[in-house]
A and B are shown apart, each in its own frame.
Chain A
């Protein structure tokens, strides 16, 4: 065996003879000019509550500001609902459920939902820009992921509306009535679609509360409901803070509540609802293990690690925030990961070339900073690329911690930011043990060329979604949800739909 491998050893020999290690230069020889998305988001100065098909002022006449986290500038005023507003919304929903929507044949309900999906597609750019301005996510993500995926959820569930006889074959499935929903700020429009589409397809009416930092696209969608001629009261949107959310969850009319958000708040809601007969689904936090075996295609695994943790600034409940990498390739993976992160573009989210946008709020930025400081203090090794950040706005550099151990806070707590903790393992069993050693169980990723190992891992990992040789892939047909403290109930697919109905 001569040069096929022998030549390589002579090359390695030259390197060890004292020359500095070769490096790649990711400099400014060819900079990309700013390329802002210019579609008009058509924002109003003030957004009212959407109750009974109309935009109405809140009873107390109070409003709060929604700001653009990329610039810290005010975008619009949002109505602050109190308990009486929430009650008004529930009364409207109850009336619509009993009078129109619950009785309407499924194929007619489907028509409305299809119409919503198409209207959203028609105005996709406008919604994408609004989503980016309001939430700070890169325009390429809101344009290529959030908005199309939201439309896809409406399309998928519209198709179910006249096929409910097949949800539980042999049994009849009926709607629950009125459901209360509270959604988070990380995917404002998409989470709205995840919640509304199955509820509506099944024949329920809804009272939903968006997160206080990201209410705008929900209220823009309410404009589409009007355009679509959706009967009044079928969807009611109340905006506000935690107390509004608590009122939505606790209202006696709600037959079911669905919550997506932090495990901490999920626990509070469950305590407050203990003893009621409300159905519940909870989609809570995560601390997903992304597991890279030595035989994995390393460059694609690195790409998957980047997608797993830096997608949407890491504001993703199923983010691959714990990288478990087999010791024999750990150095290689880490080196490649660093080179990849050097070319990520952090900055103004409205720029089409931005890979990592703004952190959603000042509060979240503070949380991330606090947890990152704890990682440094506990002795993990931190890497951040030397990218420039805009002077104003909430930004955080993509961050990788190596030499992390299982007892570090950054390996246990959900950071919900662009921060990756890298741990190593030696054997398959150790990988499973470490991956499952968490209170969470929402998602996991496995990278290997060995098919049988993928099957083994998918049965051993205690997580609701397991991706093999990819990460952060979503589809309306695929049920999504957690194990353990990541929640219960599913969203998407037949299973998610069934969580909005009952057997009669």
Chain B
């Protein structure tokens, strides 16, 4: 069968998404009113789900070290939990490992596979993965081959994911679909299934690199968590989810968590199944937690900066 016939059959098999309908659905999450204890629970949960990220050309070992300290202790209030992971470029993994040590509760995630474009030979991309894991990365955030996907070469996209998965060894894999380059919800659903069918339980699908104009939205998050739900109910394999980029406020984070609670249920409300790829989000979460504790907003300079916006 030709690639394109396979592509057509695949899209038909997994079903379509109505854009108007999905946006109407997610608009309802924004009308949920989260108060008092449930707000504090949500905010703290969100802190534990942050992949604190710095992905800049100007990253240095010193910057990464300071990011790691922030990740371990986000706020002077010692009851605030640490974040899930730091997320850095492969060349920075060894510095992160040095800063965090071997028994850190904070994991190290490394983007790899010629992030963010993925436009490098497969051999080079795999070598990058191997190097990052060798330097101590617990998790690898790969990008899919969007060019191949849009050309209808689904098999190639999937084979590459398999190759990266195998190169990861014991490291968790996160597959970045780069949703803004796939453009339609139908394509996002197709790419989600394409990835999930070759992932291991506990691996992630992830919205974006954070390097394009549109990143995580409630809409594309919804399409992906519905795909995760359908795949789980069909196979029993639980895939995790990571929206990344564009989630800067605590309010947004709570809306994403509401979507998770009402679509995937309680089993996904933890950082092995759900993450936020973000940097400035963390301080807004802390600020809101302080607001709940003290009843007043504190100035931004009371919260240590560890990364620039993402």
Contact = CB atoms under 8 A, between A and B. Distances in A.
B127 interface: no
Contacts of B36: 33
B266 interface: yes
Interface stretch (B37-45, B70-78, B132-140): B37-45
Nearest to B45: A30
A43 B10 CA distance: 59
Interface in A1-50: 1-5, 7-8, 11-12, 14-15, 19, 21-35
Contacts of B237: 11
B265 A25 contact: yes
A35 B33 contact: yes
Contacts of A343: 261-262
A2 B197 CA distance: 12
Interface of A: 1-5, 7-8, 11-12, 14-15, 19, 21-35, 140, 144, 295, 297-301, 303-304, 335, 343, 352-353, 449, 469-470
B134 to A, nearest CB: 27
Contacts of A470: 20-21, 24
A32 B38 contact: yes
Closest 7 CB pairs of A and B: A300-B21, A11-B235, A35-B33, A297-B18, A352-B33, A29-B266, A24-B265
Given A30-B38, A33-B38, A352-B33, A4 B158 contact: yes
A230 to B, nearest CB: 34
Contacts of A8: 197, 234-235
Contacts of B6: 1, 4-5
B235 A12 contact: yes
Given A3-B155, A5-B9, 15 more contacts: A4-B6, A5-B13, A11-B234, A14-B235, A29-B269, A30-B261, A31-B38, A32-B33, A33-B38, A299-B17, A300-B18, A300-B22, A301-B21, A343-B261, A470-B24
Nearest to B25: A303
Contacts of A35: 33-35
Nearest to B23: A300
Contacts of A27: 265-266
A22 B232 contact: yes
A469 B39 CA distance: 35
B58 interface: no
A208 B41 CA distance: 50
B244 to A, nearest CB: 22
Given A3-B155, A3-B198, A12-B234, A25 B266 contact: yes
Among the interface residues B32, B39, B158, B265, which one has the most CB atoms of the partner chain A within 10 A?
A: B265
Contacts of A140: 31
Task: Identify the interface centre among A7, A28, A299, A304: most chain B CB within 10 Å of its CB.
Answer: A299
Contacts of A303: 21, 24-25
Interface in B247-277: 257, 261-262, 264-267, 269
A299 B226 contact: yes
Contacts of B22: 299-300
A249 B262 CA distance: 47
A24 B229 CA distance: 8
Contacts of A300: 17-18, 20-22, 25
B236 interface: yes
A8 B36 CA distance: 44
A309 B9 CA distance: 34
Q: What secondary structure prevails in chain B residues at the interface with A?
A: helix
B298 to A, nearest CB: 23
Given A15-B234, A303-B25, A32 B266 contact: no
B236 A14 contact: yes
B57 interface: no
B162 interface: yes
B204 interface: no
B1 interface: yes
A11 B197 contact: yes
B236 A22 contact: yes
Nearest to A299: B226
A25 B17 contact: no
Interface of B: 1, 6, 9-10, 13, 15-18, 20-22, 24-25, 31-39, 41-42, 45, 154-155, 158-159, 162, 194, 197-198, 226, 229, 232-237, 257, 261-262, 264-267, 269
Nearest to B22: A300
Contacts of B39: 33
B264 A24 contact: yes
Point out which of B18, B34, B226 has the most chain A C-beta atoms below 10 A from its C-beta. Answer: B18
Contacts of A295: 16
Nearest to B32: A353
A24 B267 contact: yes
B32 A32 contact: yes
A28 B266 CA distance: 8
Nearest to B17: A297
B18 A469 contact: yes
A35 B155 CA distance: 49
A30 B16 CA distance: 31
Nearest to A35: B33
Nearest to B270: A29
A470 B22 CA distance: 11
B266 A7 contact: no
A7 B45 contact: no
Contacts of A353: 32-33
B163 to A, nearest CB: 12
A11 B232 CA distance: 10
B280 to A, nearest CB: 24
18 contacts: A1-B1, A1-B155, A3-B197, A3-B198, A4-B158, A8-B234, A11-B197, A11-B235, A11-B237, A24-B267, A25-B266, A26-B262, A26-B265, A28-B266, A30-B45, A32-B33, A33-B34, A299-B21
Contact of A297 (B1, B15, B235): B15
A353 B33 CA distance: 6
B165 to A, nearest CB: 11
Nearest to A34: B35
B42 A30 contact: yes
B112 to A, nearest CB: 22
A15 B232 CA distance: 10
Nearest to A140: B31
A30 B31 CA distance: 17
Contacts of B267: 24-25
A14 to B, nearest CB: 7
A304 B237 CA distance: 28
